[in-house]
Amino acid sequence: MKKLFVVAVVSLGTLTGFAQEAEAAEAVGATEMVAQDEYSEIEISALPEAVTNALAKDHPEATISKAYVNKKEQFKLEVAHQDGTSATLFADKKGNWIEE
C-alpha cells in the first residue's frame, strides 16, 4: 500500500511540473506575439524613398514582399532574393539599416 501511495505522489508531482512548464511556454509565446505586433503592415508604396533607395543600393537583387512600420517609424522589410532565399531587414525612416 505504501508503494502505491508513493507512486501516486511521484506521478502527481511530475504532472504538476509539466503543467508549470507549459504555462511558462505559453507566457513566453504571448510575449513574443506582443513584440511581433509592434509592427503594422503597410503598402510597399508607402515606404519612404530613403528606405527604397537604400534597398536598391545595398541589396539590388532583393524585392520587397511585405513592409511594416512601428511607432518609432522603423521599417521591417520582408524581401525575396533572386536565388530564392528570403530575409527580413530593418531600417529607419532615413534609410539607415538597423539590427533587431
Residues 55 and 84 reside in one and the same domain = yes
- Compute the Cα dihedral for 94, 46, 80, 32 and give only its sign: positive
pTM: 0.62
Q: Can you tell me the distance from the alpha carbon of 88 to that of 46, in angstroms, rounded to the nearest whole number?
A: 18
Say if residue 13's pLDDT is above 80. Answer: no
Residues 57 and 20 reside in one and the same domain = no
> CB burial class (10 A; 0-12, 13-18, 19+) of residue 90?
middle
Residues 24 and 51 reside in one and the same domain = no
3-state secondary structure of 87: strand
Three-state SS for 26-62 is HHHHHHHHHHHCCCEEECHHHCCHHHHHHHHHHCCCC
Residues 74 and 93 reside in one and the same domain = yes
Residues 44 and 9 reside in one and the same domain = no
Residues 84 and 53 reside in one and the same domain = yes
**Range of 56's domain?**
40-98
Q: What is the CATH number of the domain that holds 67?
A: 3.40.1420.30
Residues 31 and 45 reside in one and the same domain = no
Residues 80 and 48 reside in one and the same domain = yes
> CB burial class (10 A; 0-12, 13-18, 19+) of residue 21?
exposed
Number of structural domains the chain divides into: 2
Read off the pLDDT of residues 15-59 as tens digits, 9 standing for 90 and up. 555 455 555 555 544 434 344 559 999 999 999 999 999 999 999
pLDDT at 23: 55
